[in-house]
A = this chain, B = another copy of it.
């Protein structure tokens, strides 16, 4: 047990959620290119699995958009099977919804396809395969997509926590949960001790969004500080609330504010204890908030 903990944070090859910059076309369209392929992915030190990945990383690249953006995403399919992309939580026309064979033909192995839509409202969504999703998604075919600013309860006091009028978010981070496929129990595509700690300063305001791309629910527990829940599935809550453990089911997103006030290393983990520990030590859905 002790050895496994002291190895944190362990270096591994590969990092998910890296921002993807668009090509901006002459008419202002933001064009993104995604390639889906099976890659070698180091989940824990020395444990390399055949992940299904967008652009060589798990989670796939983070895509940031503004409201009103004209968007093009070209998917090139280098997987052994057909695929498509569903924009979960993002308003798109029906024929861009990515549900083959209902809203489009399957993007066959070796071919490409371009999605086109204009964003209509602030959102925190995720993109993932819909065809054979039970296999493709847990294996790694998912990424996060943010549109505009969903806002925050600035100037309000929620469960006794005062959110400043001039709230400045020091870091805005995704935490993508998974528990199945070749990746298994993991945060952002990595299993402890290969997960990445979040480093913050005393007094920072962090915004973290949990995205569940797995097959099970996960109650995410942060030691030391309340999590102020401000949005569900990217929709701002009219009645935010504070909690120390947030249950996130597959397909759900919860967005929380965290205001660490005490220095130290505070562990952060799924509270289903066999998702974080085995008789061989700590693993899986664990990271830490390191407050300096």
Contact = CB atoms under 8 A, between A and B. Distances in A.
Interface of A: 1-2, 5-6, 86, 88-89, 91, 93-95, 97, 99-103, 106, 121, 131-135, 137-138, 158-160, 215-217, 219, 221, 223-224, 226, 232-233, 235-245, 247, 249-252, 262-267, 271-274, 276-279, 288
Contacts of A237: 159, 241
Contacts of A272: 215-216, 249-250
A219 B135 contact: no
Given A132-B277, A159-B238, 20 more contacts: A1-B132, A2-B106, A91-B224, A93-B262, A94-B266, A97-B266, A99-B223, A103-B264, A133-B277, A158-B238, A159-B235, A159-B237, A219-B250, A226-B235, A232-B242, A232-B243, A233-B244, A235-B243, A237-B241, A250-B272
Contact of A273 (B91, B95, B133): B133
Nearest to A229: B232
A273 B138 contact: yes
Contacts of A102: 5, 265, 267, 288
* Copies of this chain: 3
B273 A6 contact: no
A236 B237 CA distance: 16
B224 A101 contact: no
A235 B251 CA distance: 25
A135 B247 contact: no
B244 A273 contact: no
Contacts of A274: 134, 215
Contacts of A271: 249-252
A285 to B, nearest CB: 12
A264 B158 contact: no
